Chains A and B, each alone.
Chain A
Amino acid sequence: EVQLEESGGGLVQPGGSLRLSCAVSGFAFSSYDMNWVRQAPGKGLEWVSYISSSGGTIYYGDSVKGRFTISRDNAKNSLYLQMNSLRVEDTGVYYCARDRWAPGSPLDYWGQGTLVTVSS
């Protein structure tokens, strides 16, 4: 069974940092591209970042570019999101999600999400 489980969310002050993790099981993690998608309270979905299966190709949404860093450890079946210089508008649930196939793919499996709250 495919499982993705996010962790690391919490309350942080504006300007602070947080590192999210996504532990996966049930599939060959090293063969799949991965993403982070977030959802502000009561709002829609916003794609945040993408990383290829090898980690060699990375993209970010404009709203997080220069502040967030995506990475992965294929040996540990884990995906990460380092979030720095956090802003109030970064508040929301952060999901990790799998690309079904190579770039140009829907997101076929999602974690349950971890809540990040940026507030003073």
Chain B
Amino acid sequence: IVMTQSPDSLAVSLGERATINCKSSQSVLYSANNKNYLAWYQQKPGQPPKLLLYWASTRESGVPDRFSGSGSGTDFTLTISSLQADDVAVYYCQQYYGSPPGHSFGQGTKLEIK
């Protein structure tokens, strides 16, 4: 499964909304449990990736509620409702549906302050 993110980079003003899109080459919705096997990660310079969301929209413990995820099947969106300076990072989507496990990632979206 190939994951494609858009845009590659994004500049947003502090307090404004940031939206990142992710498209998978095939559906990551598992009909047996109606769950989308899609996660979002945040990576800051010099740090490992940090899990933000899984099942496309479930926030990891401790993640601020300004981060939200939506979408189903092949099209997904990560939204940061009010951008903070600490949100500057590269964001990756990842599918964990494939068998065998492939954990394929999108190419990343670099988010900066305008």
The chain A residues found within 8 Å of chain B, CB to CB, are 33, 35, 37, 44-47, 50, 59, 61, 95, 97, 99-100, 103-108, 110-113
B window 49-102: CB within 8 A of A: 49-51, 54, 60, 92, 94, 96-97, 99-102
Task: With a 10 A CB-CB cut-off, give which of B30, B60, B96 has the most chain A CB atoms.
Answer: B96
7 shortest A-B CB distances, which residue pairs?
A110-B48, A106-B39, A47-B103, A59-B100, A106-B54, A45-B105, A44-B108
Q: Does B107 contact A (CB under 8 A)?
A: yes
Instruction: Give the docked Cα–Cα distance between A105 and B107 (Å).
Output: 19
Q: Is the interface of B mostly helix, strand, loop or mixed?
A: loop
B43 to chain A minimum Cβ distance, whole angstroms, is 8
A37/B107 in contact, CB under 8 A: no
Assess whether A107 is in contact with B103, with CB atoms less than 8 Å apart: yes
Residues of A near B94 (CB, < 8 A) are 45, 106-107
Q: Is the CB of A106 within 8 A of B51?
A: yes
Which B residues are within 8 Å of any A CB, using their own CB? 30, 37, 39, 41, 43, 47-51, 54, 60, 92, 94, 96-97, 99-108
**Alpha-carbon separation in the docked complex, A55 to B107 (Å):** 30
A46 to B53, CA, bound (A): 19
What residues on B are CB-neighbors of A61 within 8 Å?
102
26 contacts between A and B (CB under 8 A): A33-B101, A35-B101, A44-B106, A44-B107, A45-B92, A47-B102, A47-B103, A47-B104, A59-B101, A61-B102, A100-B54, A103-B100, A103-B101, A104-B37, A104-B97, A105-B96, A106-B39, A106-B54, A106-B94, A107-B39, A107-B51, A107-B103, A108-B51, A110-B48, A110-B49, A112-B48
Which residues of B sit under 8 angstroms from A106, Cβ to Cβ?
39, 51, 54, 94, 96
- Say yes or no: B48 contacts A111, CB within 8 Å: yes
Known contacts A106-B39, A106-B96, A108-B60: does B103 contact A95 (CB below 8 Å)?
no
Residues of A within 8 A of B37 (CB): 104
**Other A-B pairs beyond A104-B101, A107-B94, A108-B60, 20, CB < 8 Å:** A37-B103, A44-B107, A45-B94, A46-B105, A47-B103, A47-B104, A50-B100, A59-B101, A95-B49, A97-B48, A103-B100, A103-B101, A104-B30, A104-B97, A106-B51, A106-B54, A107-B49, A107-B51, A108-B51, A112-B47
